[in-house]
Amino acid sequence: MARREHDTPEPSLRERKRARTRQALIDAAAELFERQGYDETTVAEIAAAAEIGTRTFFGYFAGKEDILFPESDARARAAIAAIADREPAEGPVDVLLRALDTIAESDADMVSPMAAVRMRLFHTVPAVRGKALQVQLAAQREIAQELHAAFPDELDRVAAAALAGALTGAVSGALDALMDEEGADGVDTDRLRTRVRQATELGLRPWRH
C-alpha cells in the first residue's frame, strides 16, 4: 500500500480558540499539581486558573486524571496512521519507528512541564499510576490490532501484542529514566528525543528480520 499524502486544512477561529483554552487548562493543571499536589488540586481550581467555568472544563476533559494525559489518543492515532500509510517494502518495525519520528516532531507534550509532573506523580500517586497503565494498555491493544490486520502473514495476535508492548514499554521506560536522570528543568529536548529513539530501536531490535 502506497503512503498517502494528507492535506491538513487550516483550523478555524473556533478551533484555535478551543486549542488555546485546552492548553491553558493543561498549563494550569501542571502548575497546580506541582505547587500544591495532585490530590489537593480540584477541577474547580484548575478551571479558575485557566479563567473558565467548571462546567466548561468538562467539555475538554472528563476529569483531572485525564488532563495528565492530553495527547495519549493522538499518539495512538499517529501509530495507526503510519500502519495504514505503510509502503510495500516497510515491515512492522519500520512502520512503528516512522510513527515515533512523526510523534517526536509534532508532539510537544513529551517534553512539556506536564510530562515532568506526570512522571513524578506516576511514582507517588496510585490513582495516577493506575490511569497511566490504563492509557498505555489501551494504546497497546489498539496498535496491536492494527499491526495484526496489516501484517497477518508476519504477526499473529500474540506477536502483534508483544511488538506493540515493546514499543510502548521502550518509550515509557526511556522517558522515565531520562526524567529521573536529568530532572524536569534539565531535559534537553533534542537529546531526549534522540535517546527515546535509540531506546525504541533497541527494544524493537529482536523483531528485525
pLDDT of residue 20: 92
Cα 10 versus chain centre, distance? 23
pLDDT of residue 8: 56
Cα–Cα distance measured from residue 171 to residue 193, given in angstroms and rounded to the nearest whole number = 10
pLDDT of residue 27: 93
pLDDT at 11 over 90: no
Question: Residue 53: which residues within 8 A CB-CB, separation 6 or more?
Answer: 47
Mind spelling out the 3-state secondary structure of 94-115? HHHHHHHHHHHHHCHHHHCHHH
pLDDT of residue 25: 95
pLDDT of residue 1: 47
Mean pLDDT of the region 47-70: 93
Do residues 111 and 192 touch, judged by C-beta distance below 8 A? Answer: yes
Question: Residue 168: which residues within 8 A CB-CB, separation 6 or more?
Answer: 136, 139, 140, 143
Mean pLDDT of the region 105-116: 72
pLDDT of residue 61: 93
- pTM of the predicted model over 0.85: no
Q: How confident is the model at residue 15 (pLDDT cuts 50, 70, 90)?
A: confident
Each residue of 68-102: pLDDT tens digit? 988 877 888 888 999 999 988 999 999 999 988 88
pLDDT of residue 196: 86
Residues constituting the chain: 209
Q: How confident is the model at residue 2 (pLDDT cuts 50, 70, 90)?
A: very low
What grid cell was written down for 148? 495484526
Mean pLDDT of the chain: 85
